Structure 1
Amino acid sequence: MSRTDDVTGPAGTAPPRRLPRPRADALRNRERLVTAAREMFVEFGCAVPYDEIARRAGLGNATLYRNFPERADLVREVVLSLTARIAGLAERAAAGVDAGETDPFEAVRGFAHGAADERVGALCPMLDAGFDHDHPDLVAERERLEEAVEALLGRARAAGRLRPDAGAADLFVGISQLTRPLPGTGCDAFAPFVHRHLGIFLDGLEAPARSGLPGAPATLEDLRRDDA
């Protein structure tokens, strides 16, 4: 038996147990469930019945409960998936700037519209008082997102393309508010206005600015302290 095949532990101890890797089909099913949940949370809120989520994913209830025994588990996974997707958008936008493929502010613009497509604002009501904001997985992914967006904005600011009195929190608040449907309107009815109004908002972030902004640029940490 080769050294790489040797799974015995130290003398007098049992060999370490190797946990089986999830099968590819199990991972695909999990992703289908998360995608279906994200879509239905946007459309109907996070109280949507479990069987409807399973039906949208094309899977049985047993598969849903096996992956996410509690609704809180599913909500956390949706938020984690969303945060990771948006962080990836910011990282790719910054990479395009570094490669000389994209103007720094156009990279910010592209990131903002991509984040809007994720319906960030429509999902914000999930983050209520009972949501565990400090779960280690969420903290790690949130830090990745914040670092990526700060880096992207830093490139635009250094190039003189982003107004100096605007910060990451300004961008996040704008995207969040502009992707949240108005009271009495559904997401489908509101969707045609999102990118139009986001374009107007982004024009206000571009340098040179036509006016000054009151107060100091808010950081993302400032927003979290206000929510505490």
Structure 2
Amino acid sequence: MSTTAERSRVTRMRADASRNRERIVAAAREAFVEHGPEVTFDEIARRAGVGNATVYRHFADRTELIRQVTLEVMNRVVALAESVLDDSPDAFEALRRFVHGAAHEHIGALCSTLDEGCRPLAVELSDQRIRVERALERIMDQGRASGLLRPDVVPGDILIALPQLTRPLPGTACLGLERFFDRHLQLFLDGLRAPARSALPGAGATFADLRPNPQGTTM
């Protein structure tokens, strides 16, 4: 009986610890979006509804917390990219859902923060990066084949535009800019529809152009 009670207690403790960790990561993501990587652990703990010591018990330092936020964001973007074709009536709708969904992960606002976490994570993130690239390529191939997507747009155009369209304006931090995301993203998506109104200058970015380099990380 005592053994059963002890097992039950351990199970509850593990469940509580798992929930606390999830709350800390979610709170850190929100805090990084609003305040950048310099936000204090006190603020993250307050948002998560836990004590400061609980944050340090799960994450020894800021780098480890940034690493976990990075992985969480990338995993959600991967899952989104790989599922939208199955859940959409056509390839352009799949592209629209991916663009809007990825934008609401706040990739633009998180870029500088995630960059700090991604530098030591190049190998760990390479699989997620490749999976996003392949899924986006598949979506756009089907869009072009169906005649819905202009033929001169490449996946690199999407991966460059997403962080740019969701990056806060200088001096505004992130003060409610999310309410404009969908409006501006829709303007961008309308420009991807066939038939094209004009020829695009230059060449689209390749995946090789967007690979991480020793000086930083491209999202």
**TM-score, with structure 2 as normaliser:** 0.84
**Aligned counterpart, 1:13:** none
- Cα distance in 1 for residues equivalent to 2:49 and 2:157: 39
Query: Relative CO higher for 1 or 2, CA cutoff 8 Å, sep ≥ 6?
Result: 2
CA shift, 1:225, in A, is 6.2
**Aligned counterpart, 1:70:** 61
Cα distance change of structure 1 residues 149 and 25 upon mapping to structure 2, 3 Å threshold: farther
SS at match of 1:217: coil
Letter in 2 for 1:89: L
**Aligned counterpart, 1:55:** 46
Cα pair 2:152 2:200 within 8 Å, conserved: yes
Does 2:131 match 1:140?
Answer: no
**Aligned counterpart, 1:30:** 21
- Cα distance in 2 for residues equivalent to 1:52 and 1:103: 43
> Which digits, 9 at most, give the CA deviation of each residue in 1:83-142, with x for residues without a partner?
111111111212224xxxx12101111111111111110001114468425443322222
- Cα distance in 2 for residues equivalent to 1:131 and 1:103: 33
Give the counterpart of 1:197 among 169, 184, 207: 184
Does 2:205 match 1:209?
Answer: no
- Cα distance in 2 for residues equivalent to 1:55 and 1:156: 45
Letter in 2 for 1:104: A
Give the counterpart of 1:105 among 83, 86, 92: 92
Letter in 1 for 2:108: G
Give the counterpart of 2:151 among 161, 164, 184: 164
Cα distance change of structure 1 residues 64 and 41 upon mapping to structure 2, 3 Å threshold: same
**Aligned counterpart, 1:188:** 175
CA shift, 1:152, in A, is 1.9
- For structure 1, which segment, 45-54 or 144-153, has the greater mean C-alpha deviation from structure 2 after superposition? 144-153
CA shift, 1:192, in A, is 2.5
- Cα distance in 1 for residues equivalent to 2:117 and 2:48: 26
- Cα distance in 2 for residues equivalent to 1:206 and 1:143: 25
> Which digits, 9 at most, give the CA deviation of each residue in 1:34-56, with x for residues without a partner?
10000000001011001110111
- Cα distance in 2 for residues equivalent to 1:28 and 1:93: 28
Root-mean-square deviation (Å): 2.2
Cα pair 1:104 1:155 within 8 Å, conserved: yes
Uncovered stretches (5+) of structure 1, i.e. residues with no partner? 1-19
**Among the aligned pairs, what percent are the same residue?**
53
- For structure 1, which segment, 120-129 or 174-183, has the greater mean C-alpha deviation from structure 2 after superposition? 120-129
CA shift, 1:176, in A, is 0.7
Does 2:148 match 1:179?
Answer: no
Cα pair 2:168 2:177 within 8 Å, conserved: yes
Letter in 1 for 2:207: L
CA shift, 1:65, in A, is 1.1
**Aligned counterpart, 1:92:** 83
Larger Rg: 1
Give the counterpart of 2:30 among 36, 39, 55: 39
In proportion to residue count, which structure has more helix?
A: 2
> Which digits, 9 at most, give the CA deviation of each residue in 1:137-175, with x for residues without a partner?
322222222222222222212222111211111112111
CA shift, 1:221, in A, is 2.1
SS at match of 1:47: coil
- For structure 1, which segment, 167-176 or 148-157, has the greater mean C-alpha deviation from structure 2 after superposition? 148-157
